[in-house]
Every structure is written in structure tokens, then in C-alpha cells.
Amino acid sequence: GIQVEQSPPDLILQEGANSTLRCNFSDSVNNLQWFHQNPWGQLINLFYIPSGTKQNGRLSATTVATERYSLLYISSSQTTDSGVYFCAVSGGTSYGKLTFGQGTILTVHP
């Protein structure tokens, strides 16, 4: 199956800093999503982005499918951005069977 690697595993920032999270995947994908898991465990959809670039407020994401990676940008980070960020992909005919990366634990200090 598809392998998903996220980096860095941990990231500590001061409020206001910018950051880039990376997701590498091992095969072509038909679905790539970024999630933020809040302290209660709920997965918040950030982006559905199997290719291209999207922006939503302080967050943006880019997926370069031909090179098998995706980047999540967080600008002007806030303490509420803290949590775990997951990249998840599916490939082939497995549209709903997401494979998750190990996540990036983001901590933003005031």
C-alpha cells in the first residue's frame, strides 16, 4: 500500500511565526487531505487537495502530485493552532480508504 511520511514529527513555535509541514507519499493518489486533530480528538478538515494549491485564511496547501509531496503552510501562528496535523492519502480505486501519516505535533507558545 501507499506509504505516507510527515515531517517534522514535532514543531515548537512562538506565536506569530510561520511554519511549513511536509507530507511525502510513495505512489500516485486520488485523494489527499490535511487534518487538524483537536485536543478532544476530532479531526477538522483543513484541505482536500489531491493536486494544486488552495488557501483558507492563514492556512494554505500545495500538492505536487508528480513529485509526490504536499506542503501545509501556517502563517502568523496562534496558540489555537496547536495540535496534531495529519496528512492522509488514498490511491488507485480505494477512494475512501485513507492512509494516514504519523502526524506533526505543533505547539505554539504565547
Partner 1 sequence: GAVVSQHPSWVICKSGTSVKIECRSLDFQATTMFWYRQFPKQSLMLMATSNEGSKATYEQGVEKDKFLINHASLTLSTLTVTSAHPEDSSFYICSARKEGHMNTGELFFGEGSRLTVL
Q: Contact, 49 vs 33, CB < 8 A?
A: yes
- The binding track of 19-38 with respect to partner 1, each residue x by CB under 8 A or -, is -----------xx-x-x---
Under the criterion CB under 8 A, does residue 95 sit at the interface with partner 1? Answer: yes
Angstrom distance (rounded) from CA 108 to CA 82? 6
Under the criterion CB under 8 A, does residue 96 sit at the interface with partner 1? Answer: yes
CB of 3 to partner 1, least distance (A): 12
Cα 62 → chain centroid = 10
Residue matched to cell numbers 511549513: 20
The Cα-based distances of 97 to 6, 48, 84, 87, 94 in angstroms read 18, 14, 20, 13, 5
Under the criterion CB under 8 A, does residue 83 sit at the interface with partner 1? Answer: no
Angstrom distance (rounded) from CA 89 to CA 86? 10
CB of 42 to partner 1, least distance (A): 5
Give the residue, chosen from 14, 39, 41, 66, that forms a contact with partner 1 under the rule CB under 8 A: 41
Q: Which residues bind partner 1 (CB under 8 A)?
A: 30-31, 33, 35, 40-43, 45, 48, 50, 86, 88, 90, 95-103
